[in-house]
Each structure stands twice: as structure tokens, then as C-alpha cells.
Amino acid sequence: MFSKLVQLSTLISVVNGAIVLDVDHNTKIIRKDIIEAVNSRSTTWKAGVNKRFENATVADVKILLGTVLPGEPTYIPPEFERQVFKDGAIPTSFDVRTAWPSCSSISGHVRDQSSCGSCWAFGSTEAFNDRYCISTGDNQRLMSPEDTNDCCSGSVCSGSKGCNGGQPSGAWNWFTKVGVSTGGDYDDIGTGTTCKPYSMMSCAHHVTPPPGMVSCDTLPEYKTPKCTSTCSESGYKVAYSSDKHFAKNSYSIKGVSNIQQEIMEHGTISVSMQVYEDFESYTSGVYQHVTGSYLGGHAIKMIGWGVENGTPYWLCVNSWNTSWGEQGTFKILRGSNECGIESAAVAGQV
């Protein structure tokens, strides 16, 4: 019995709470059988080859899925739930980018978490960034997922652990108590325009990288950059302690109509979802899970909703750069808690 247990232990590892089998390192995530299974059915979306994951393995994708979902052992429910909303008719469609057009360069900006399980930091920081623009009119300032990923930890952040996973609700609580600094993308390093631009470069898996990207194999996977109390940009002339931006509060939102009212009133929210093997092959349409195994939890930002060919959907922005999905965005079935998309919505006033 002991020898069997030792043998089994060599076949698995744990990444962001998900079990990674040895076979996951040799199994492609974009596969002909998955694409054909989706496209041969009368479903609401199309599957194909996304450059972001063209030759990625299942293990490569599990690294990115760092969000703790409701029902998991380490999940910590948000302390507050918003239950009172303004009365008003809910339109058939809504898009934060057009509702607040002066902030569209922020709310429509697609970012890249690189080879790190920091989706929880992106899904929260980006939503905060959108709301900051909506509240202040400042459409020039990018907030720092780097600061959130590296420094949001402990009980104030629901036990989040950087590239090893976390909770958007913990990040929103951190925004209220500690605040987040400015920080652009990897390409902004050296410009001196923000305090902590993202330190991990956009990357491609096991292929010759397109312009502006490197091979993910060359990056330090799993490692969370050290939290610092100074800006990483010497050319940025604002001190880190003075560069912090705060949320007034944080809360969860439950129910389809409440989520819609929340977005109409204040803008983008943070949501989490279950990711399956077919999601990486999404290219267009309204996603709903068709085939493939469960891989892990993922956080994104939600910017609206609509109806496509009679199918109601939520409109979301991912953090897998523009070479995935519909230029980095996707639609997912609305009204039936598809992949848990309606079960962990969080936000806060900024």
C-alpha cells in the first residue's frame, strides 16, 4: 500500500488548489475533439484556435486559474451584501463602455496576467479602475494589478496568495483599508507614467511568440513578486504612500436583476466562474459549457449584458490579452448561473 501511495504522489501536484496530473503537462488544451464537439452541436457559440493557447497544455492553463470559488474549503464569504437598489427599468442591453464613453479607454482595456494565477487581482483591480474613472472622470490613470497581486494578503485580503490564488472580494476589502497604487501594463515599464506597472510579460505557450510576446517557458511561473512599499518606477514622481487609491466600501451582489442594477448605477463589477477545457477554445457567441473537464476558478470583470440570436448573455472582459476570444472579451449565458458566473459578484463604491 505504501509503495502505491508513493507512486501516486509522483503523478500529481497542486497549483492554485487544483490537482495537476503528470498527463496535464502533455495534454493540449486546444484540441480538435473539443472544437468539433462544440461546433457540431446546436449550441450558442463557436470554438476555434486562440493564439493565446495555441499549443498550451492543460497544466499551463491551470496555472492561470487562481480564484477561490464559493463552496471551496478556503473560500471566505464577503462580509456585506448590497440589497437595496434604485428602482428603474432594466434595458435589454447595457455596456459600461458606451454608458460612460469618456471612460471607454479604461473599461475597454484588455490586460494580460501572463503566466501567473493573478486573475483574482486583475478581475478586482480592473473593476476598481473602471469605477474610479466613472466616479472621478480620470480616464488616464491605470491601477496596478501588480500592487494587488503582490501586497494584498492575510485576513484583510481573504487569505489571498498572489500568483497562487486569491479572492476578488478580499481585494475589494483591501481597496477600502489599504488602497491600490497606479500601475500600467508590462509595456509601460520604464515610462515613469505609473507607480507599479505589471512586471510579467505577455507570453505564448510552446510556440514562436508573436511580436510583443515571449515564450511562457522563459518566465518564472508560480512565483509572486515581492511586495514593496516603494514604486518600481524611478521616473514616477509620486511617492507610493501618496499614490494609493481607495474604495469607500465593498460588498457582494446576488441575483440577476441586482447585478444589472449595480452595473447600471456604478459600472463594472468583479465576477468569478468555473473554467472547463472548452472555454479556452471560445472564439465567438454566447459561451455555455459543452464538453471537457473542470480546470479551476477564474476571475474577470463584467461590463454589461445583452441578447444574441435570442440568447441572453453577460458581457465580460478577460485578462488573457486580445489574442483570446472576441478580442479579449466574451459573452456567457445569463440567467442560469452558468459556470457559477452569478454566484460570486462583488464590487464597491469608489
Q: Global pTM?
A: 0.92
The string of DSSP letters for 196-254 reads S---S--EESSSPPPTT-EEGGGS-TTPPPPP-SS-S-TT--S-GGGS-B--S--EEE-
129 as an active site residue: the answer is no
Pick from 171, 347, 127: nearest CA to 254 = 347
Pick from 143, 110, 120, 165: nearest CA to 322 = 110
Instruction: Give pLDDT tens digits for 69-117.
Output: 999 999 999 999 999 998 889 999 999 999 999 999 999 999 999 989 9
Dig out the grid coordinates for 187 from the structure. Answer: 509595456
Catalytic residue among 50, 173, 318, 321: 318
Residues in the chain: 350
What's phi and psi for 47, nearest 5 deg? -110, 150
Instruction: Give pLDDT tens digits for 249-281.
Output: 999 999 999 999 999 999 999 999 999 999 999
Q: Is the pLDDT reported for residue 164 higher than 80?
A: yes
**Residue 137's pLDDT band (boundaries 50, 70, 90)?**
very high
Catalytic residue among 205, 266, 289, 298: 298
Does 33 or 51 have the greater pLDDT score?
Answer: 33
CATH number assigned to the domain comprising residue 91: 3.90.70.10
Catalytic residue among 119, 152, 216, 231: 119
The total number of structural domains that make up the chain: 1
**Residue 55's pLDDT band (boundaries 50, 70, 90)?**
confident
298 as an active site residue: the answer is yes
**Residue 201's pLDDT band (boundaries 50, 70, 90)?**
confident
Mean residue pLDDT of the chain comes to: 91
Q: What is the extent of the structural domain holding 334?
A: 2-347
Mean pLDDT to the nearest integer, 315-335: 97
How buried is 306 (Cβ within 10 angstroms: 0-12 exposed, 13-18 middle, 19+ buried)? Answer: middle
119 as an active site residue: the answer is yes
Give the 3-state secondary structure of residue 6. Answer: helix
pLDDT at res. 88: 87
